[in-house]
Chains A and B, each alone.
Chain A
Amino acid sequence: MSRVFITGMGVISAIGVNIPENRKALATGQCGITKGTSFPSRYAGELPFAEAPLSTEELKEKLTIRDAGVTRTTLLALHALEEAILDAGLSDEELVSSDTALIGASTVGGMCLMDEMYRDAHKTSGGSEFLASYDCASVNMFLQAHFKMNGIVNTINTACSSSSNAILYGARLIKNGFAKRAIVGGADSLSKFTINGFNALHILSPEVCTPFDRDRQGLNLGEGAAFLVLEGEEAVATGPAGSGATGDKNFYAELTGYCNTNDAYHPSSLAGDGPYLAMEGALSSAGLQPGQIDFINAHGTGTENNDAVESEVMQRLFGVPPAFSSAKSNIGHTLGAAGAVEAVYSILNLVHQEIYAGLNFTHPIPETGLHPVVTYRRMPIHHVMSNSFGFGGNCTSLIFSKA
């Protein structure tokens, strides 16, 4: 089966509207989580959130979108997708080819407009411009129509591991011959629905989150989007003649391993088998030993349950885990976008041979004593593991390797 390479990326998050901005913010330890937000919820100003730095109007203006019914989630997705397409140098022909798949992910979709949806659902006639925009699929339906794409289009929702699974799915489409290239990723925006859902579960932190810290109090919700362009070995220049590569595209990294499992323990908390089997399975699929992973981009939400379980699992699998940190201390938990955004960050680790500080860490969790990386440093990196564990026990682990 074909190897899978990343030839382009795009991202928008609370710490930047493109790849260079995000990288600079990560390298200088910037935190995009604040209590000052204009989001219409009684919790705005009370709880910390990680909002993308462009308002919905600004996004529409920048992307010259005048269509009715386009939600913030879709705009964030479009912003990241445009960067990825440009970055990969995809031609118009490639974009509309029936060999090009679009695999997205979202947990919120158009439910960022909860009030509008509530009003619409009680009407007997009329209805707002957003009637067809509330579901998770609305994002990719818009993107497909906007770019006139003719290949396989899909939307995945496995809660917090959604866009990791989108990446995995796109890679398998290429390996199984259903696509030559796959644009994969996810998007989510802040929503009263998720804010209240997580708050009802008592897992939102009243302060900026402190992943892997003894005194952590929960997660901060964030928003963002990221897309990666995956291409098969035919398209890229991987090495000397006879290596199977006939193309000439440059690439950032290779997706060498992946695994999706289910914890099968509880609807909203983890026990550990799911994360362990996902990480172990990803290593096995990459043909790597635990000791070969140089850095882990951890799920690290800052909740009591996740960080405890994830720490224990990392110790169990690695003995002494490699350097690790959670980007959620910079950008909050971007839910459906998290897997893809953090995959982009993992690839930045490989491209620039550097790792980024986990923020706000003071004391380790006593049971495991693990310390995330707390300062930026440059170091040789060959393989990065990126983990996402979600509600419903959906766990996915991805491994990216140096070009």
Chain B
Amino acid sequence: METVQLKHQLKKQIIEFLNLTSLTPEQIKDDQPLFGDGEGLGLDSIDSLELIVLLNREFGIVIKDPKEGRKVLVDVNTMVAYIEKNRTK
């Protein structure tokens, strides 16, 4: 799958998984910080654990340490780069 398509798919999955019902994929910028308020999407530590599960269920990626996970979960760009490198599904 091309990177552009993967980014769009990932945004859809994030919205569905985290129940971000007021957002569309188009409203999430590729480099928008996932965590923190202001410019960020405003996700919190529970969301980061949920995203680790999403990476496992959808892409077969195992991240055992949540702290390591936070390094990957910066924005859609970093997530997609990690997925492309490490996906087993």
Contact = CB atoms under 8 A, between A and B. Distances in A.
Question: Are A and B bound to each other?
Answer: yes
Interface in A179-211: 200-202
B44 interface: yes
B66 interface: yes
Tell me if B's interface is mostly helix, strand, loop or mixed: helix
A268 B66 contact: no
Interface centre among A200, A202, A266, A269, by most chain B C-beta atoms within 10 angstroms, is A202
B19 interface: no
A45 interface: no
B44 to A, nearest CB: 7
| Interface band, chain A | under 10
A127 interface: no
Contacts of A89: none
Interface in B11-39: none
A267 B49 contact: no
B5 interface: no
Interface in A285-337: none
Interface string B31-60: 000000000000011100100010000000
A266 B44 contact: yes
Contacts of B66: 202
Contacts of A268: 45-46
Contacts of A201: 46, 49
A266 B45 contact: yes
B49 A202 contact: yes
A269 B44 CA distance: 11
B3 to A, nearest CB: 30
Contacts of B49: 200-202
Nearest to B50: A200
A224 B2 CA distance: 55
A269 B48 CA distance: 14
Interface of B: 44-46, 49, 53, 66
Given A200-B53, A269-B45, 10 more contacts: A200-B49, A201-B46, A201-B49, A202-B49, A202-B66, A266-B44, A266-B45, A267-B46, A268-B45, A268-B46
